[in-house]
Amino acid sequence: MNKLDKCLNIDDLRRAAKRRAHRMVFDYIDGGADDEVTLGRNTGAFDDYDLLFKVLAGANNVDMSTTLLGEKIDVPFFASPAAGHRLFHTDGERGVAKAVDKAGTIFSLSTLSSVGIEEIASLTSGPKWFQLYVWKDRGMVKEMMDRAREAGYKALILTVDFPIAGNRERDPRNGFSIPPKVGPKQAWQALMAPAWSLDYLIRPSVKYANLSQDTAAVSLQNFVYEQFDAGFNWRDAEWLLGEWNGPAVIKGVVRPDDARRAVDLGFNAVMVSNHGGRQLDRSPAPIHVLESIVDAVGADAEVILDGGIRRGTDILIALALGAKAVGFARPFLYGLAAAGEAGAERAMQILTTELERDMILLGTESISAVDRSVVVRRAAR
């Protein structure tokens, strides 16, 4: 049995990532904002729900497939966008894209990826979406959209909960930057992570691959302050939809009124998300506000739950409350940091296997049969 076979769940992959990765890298994946209250809530909130399983249902031929923005996918989950995969392992976005393709679902590429738009587009035949932050330079925004469209990305994800970087205190304590800059503290911690350090030393340097020029090593807070447009508003979002002129997802919504306004503006899907607890601390767990957003949107758009997914049962709860699918990043990033492409593939396998087993135990043979009748929220204690 190899070390990945011993990883029976996502938390096992997390521990494996912590053992292999440099501390600043692991904390970047694992951390949240301020006191990390929301970070903990995102996962813990699933404990507030029970699944009401059916018996004698004969559910032995499970179909986990669904469609998302017209794309047929084999499982009702996909890879949410995340920055700088090559910092975690040299396989980077290349490895994750291939792992996600094997799972038969969608890979989302971040604006701040460490492998370029065109290379990832040509790497697999599976569906791909492109995530966009809004830069102060609107010419750069349009250029990235044009490149993604020409490369065959099917949908645009606009992240709207990131006007400035959240107060992620683990990062400045560790001296985290992209590309990494190495001082005495980072060098000492590198000795504790020899596998990661060897990768880092012998491979090409980690950079934001989609930017037109090299970016100096700076803290995330400084980079976002210098480059991102905190004044981006609904009128600008309307402009962006017109420039993209295709399927579009708004990511980072926790209020029903914002979700309704986004759909009325022209967004085809809403990702209920608080940026993994990395932005405004004490914002609500996505699963707690999912049902109200599904009701506000109705049949006019698809709703995606992003945040806190660690188990197949988490996926079932989100689907039962009305999500068309779920997205996640930490599970496959833990796998990537632990063992590269093979680790990311293991993360997808774990959740696929759990979901199939849990659907049988729930007594449902298809995703469409997972509805509000199978979930109940516990009374407040």
Phi, psi of 131 (to 5 degrees): -95, 135
- How far is residue 238's CA from residue 262's CA, in Å, rounded to a whole number? 9
Q: Position of tokens 């890879």?
A: 79
CB atoms within 10 A of CB 316: 26
CA torsion sign for 252, 256, 262, 268 is positive
For residue 87, give both structure tokens: 């910092």
Question: What is the rounded CA–CA span in Å between residue 256 and residue 241?
Answer: 20
251 pairs with which residues across the strands?
A: 159, 271
| Phi, psi of 262, rounded to the nearest 5 degrees | -65, -40
Q: Which residues are catalytic?
A: 275
Question: Exposed/middle/buried for 143, CB within 10 Å: 0-12, 13-18, 19+?
Answer: middle
For residues 320 and 371, the answer to whether their CB atoms sit within 8 Å is: yes
How is residue 377 written in tokens? Answer: 């929220």
CB 63 within 8 A of CB 104: no
CA of residue 61 relative to chain centroid, distance: 29
